[in-house]
Chain A
Amino acid sequence: MQPRGQPPSAPRPGPARPYAPPWALLLLLLTLRGAAVPLQDPAVPLQGPRGTDVPAPPSWAMLQQAARVALHFFNFHSGSPSELRVLANVQTGGWQVDPRRGYHINLVFSTESYHLQDGKPRLGKCFARVFFQNQKPRPAITMTCTGLSEKNRTLQEDHLLYEQLKQMKDALTVSSIPDDYGNIDPSMRPIWDLAVLGSSYVMWERTTQFSYYYPLQLSRVKQWKTSDHAIDFDYTVLLHEFPTQEIVPCHIHLIWYPGKPLKVKYWCEEMQTPVEASSGTEEGSAVALTEFSNF
């Protein structure tokens, strides 16, 4: 696979970094033991709670979605462009359904680091509980992951990245990363990594049990301000939406500093549903939504 970017140094394996209090973790593990089955074949039905009259189990596709959205959540909360992780494989999945409220999905899945070390991604594992509330977006997630870099190491790498980003004077001239042929200029890669980090928040908020997203391209940089306290980055990312296949432009404004929680504000352009003729611009008609933010 194409190198996704080389970090300054190889991080050492570190302790698990939980995102939930220890008692919740114990509860999670107990739940997993009770309701999980190993998944070998998407045709094999999953076990639900015994003796309950439940609707159809989540499909294999939904389990993949649950794992992906859990990783968006992880990436956003880690606030670290150096520690971005992607889905490798869903290993076990269990589920409980509340007909009135939605699906609780328990997952164990393997991950890979977005950045390669010595030409190979670093492997990891996550245990997650994802609650899709009846087709609403922004699923509730508790999770813990192993195989991550040691915390100080990550912070160090983030600081190095920060220094690189501070040097960038021509960020405003960026028109697309990657270009139409999939190229990313190595000097521009830190911008892409930061853009993906910000996109994670948006993708987590938009994902439902049916729709999921991938970031395809950074199409425009509107604002780029750097200082000793933060990178202030305003940009447009094109998200690929499944299953509609639409390309959704999202305008994201983020403020980042290594080790600090990521701040994100955004709005996405939505396609209008009526058949009435619009101006038919490439991005579709822009309907400004209420700004979403965690500022």
Chain B
Amino acid sequence: MKPLLGTLYLLGMLVPRGLGYDRSLAQHRNQVVDKTGSLWKNLETYSYNKYHPMEEIYLWMSQISEKHAEVVTQHLLGMTFEKRPMYYLKISQPSDNPKKIIWMDCGIHAREWIAPAFCQWFVKDILQNYKDNPRINKFLRNLDFYVLPVLNIDGYIYSWTTDRLWRKSRSSHNNGTCFGSDLNRNFNVSWCSIGASKNCQDLTFCGTEPVSEPETKAVSGFVESKKQDILCFLTIHSYGQLILTPYGYTKNKPSNHEELIQVGQKAANALKAKHGTNYRVGSSADILYPTSGSSRDWARDIGIPFSYTFELRDDGTEGFLLHETQIQPTCEEAMEAVLSILDDVYAKYWLSNTATKVTSTTVLLNLLWLFTSLL
């Protein structure tokens, strides 16, 4: 009851304010925190090593964007089926130069609790380190991070209140006798052709048509509008310990398949260096199973070059019911993987001048060596 009340309270407070597409909540944050103080203490005591129900995540978003107002703003993406607001956080260092975008979403499947935990961890890590860590500082010079901590909010709440193993959204079908679409089968890419079901009762139900679900509409509408600037689309799931590249709907490979695998493998190596965990890298159709209508495939096909699905810990021992003591190591190692991908993306788009210098130097050194060896 309490989570529902909390949600309704927040909803009651925020929706009537007529939030537009791009308006931040700056002026309303103080009121939200004060009036709902009884639900929360403060950001200093927020534990990133625990799973949080949705009303706590809503509050966290609001507090984080207040505390780090110089770089973080909270934005409304759209509304869920049950009319809850979908918020994303934009992390952006003010500057004159135009930025490219890194998109990350978590929790498209309700029961995969480690995923929203990772999105929160990611935000926390970036904000803790962007001033002092040269690597992250460098990213923020040219990149903006758009993070959607929970995509399937209705489903996530349902997994807390009613059914821990719920996967889909909570849209109503067949006169209220059947609930939920698999949001990761609902995107407009080879929709419902393979690895998805037209039967509403199935857990891979693809929806009534492509992008039938409000959550899918919200994400695809926004990402489509920004696609010229989005370099990297990361969608976070569990479990399986995999870094998946396109496609799931076909065994054919995208034009940059080799590069995606190389970058992915480097990320998996960086991940393994942290705690020894093995993540496999490959296309979804090759190493997992065929699927259609996934967000990752759709993102690649609208032209976003680096598109990955992460399946976080574990390998099946605990599955979705990943113990809270695993949150920290899972997030730490996944962080290394994401940063590695960002290194490669950054190098590709902003270090081409340096690359030329390195090549020239290498040629010179080789000539010098050749000369001296001939003496």
Contacts and interface: CB of A to CB of B under 8 A. Distances in A.
Interface stretch (A10-18, A226-234, A241-249): A241-249
A134 B322 CA distance: 35
Interface stretch (B56-64, B71-79, B126-134, B172-180): B172-180
B170 to A, nearest CB: 13
A43 interface: yes
A271 B324 contact: no
Interface stretch (B208-216, B222-230, B283-291, B354-362): B283-291
Interface stretch (B8-16, B312-320, B363-371): B312-320
Judged by DSSP, the binding face of A is loop
A189 B40 CA distance: 34
B217 interface: no
A180 B282 CA distance: 31
Interface residues of A, number: 39
A50 B80 CA distance: 55
Nearest to A182: B323
Interface in A240-281: 240, 242-247, 271-273, 275, 277-278, 280
Contacts of A278: 177, 201
A7 B167 CA distance: 35
Contacts of B372: none
Given A42-B282, A60-B282, A275-B200, A1 B287 contact: no
Contacts of B6: none
Given A243-B289, A277-B177, A182 B324 contact: yes
A60 B178 CA distance: 35
B202 A244 contact: yes
Interface string B287-324: 11111000000000000000000000011111111111
Contacts, number: 101
B282 A43 contact: yes
Interface in A1-32: 1-2, 4
A281 to B, nearest CB: 11
A246 B182 CA distance: 12
A182 B322 contact: yes
A183 B199 contact: no
B325 interface: yes
B201 A4 contact: no
Of the listed residues A217, A238, A240, A275, the one surrounded by the most CB atoms of chain B closer than 10 A to its CB is: A275
B289 A61 contact: yes
Contact of B321 (A60, A180, A243, A277): A180
Given A1-B314, A182-B324, A183-B323, A245 B167 contact: yes
Contacts of B3: none
A178 interface: yes
Nearest to A62: B289
A89 interface: yes
B287 A272 contact: no
B2 to A, nearest CB: 16
A284 interface: yes
A100 to B, nearest CB: 24
B204 A60 contact: no
Nearest to B278: A89
Contact of A4 (B315, B317, B320): B317
Q: How large is the interface on B (under 10, 10 to 19, 20 to 34, 35 or more residues)?
A: 35 or more
A214 B287 contact: no
B286 A181 contact: no
Interface string A180-192: 1111000000000
B204 A244 contact: yes
A42 B280 contact: yes
A2 B323 contact: yes
A290 B89 CA distance: 53
B163 interface: yes
Contacts of B316: 86, 214
A171 to B, nearest CB: 20
B339 interface: no
A242 B289 contact: yes
A244 B179 CA distance: 17
Interface string B162-200: 111101000000110111001000000000000100011
Q: Which of B163, B288, B316, B322 has the most CB of A within 10 A?
A: B316
B199 A275 contact: yes
Contacts of A216: 165, 319-321
Of A180, A182, A282, most buried by chain B (CB within 10 Å of CB) is: A182
Nearest to B258: A43
Interface in B64-107: none
Contacts of A89: 278
A63 B11 CA distance: 49
A275 B286 contact: no
B346 interface: no
B51 interface: yes
Contacts of A244: 202-204
Contacts of B326: 1-2, 182
A186 to B, nearest CB: 13
Given A60-B286, A216-B320, A242-B289, A180 B164 contact: yes
Nearest to B184: A245
B263 to A, nearest CB: 15
A47 interface: no
Interface string A64-108: 000000000000000000000011010000000000000000000
13 contacts: A42-B287, A60-B286, A87-B315, A89-B278, A180-B321, A182-B322, A182-B323, A182-B324, A242-B289, A245-B182, A245-B204, A277-B177, A280-B178
Interface of A: 1-2, 4, 42-43, 59-61, 86-87, 89, 114, 178-183, 210, 214, 216-217, 238, 240, 242-247, 271-273, 275, 277-278, 280, 282, 284
Given A86-B316, A280-B178, 14 more contacts: A2-B318, A4-B317, A42-B282, A60-B287, A61-B286, A181-B51, A181-B323, A182-B324, A214-B316, A240-B165, A244-B202, A246-B203, A275-B200, A280-B177
Q: Which 7 A-B pairs have the closest CB atoms?
A: A182-B323, A277-B177, A243-B289, A214-B316, A245-B203, A182-B321, A180-B164
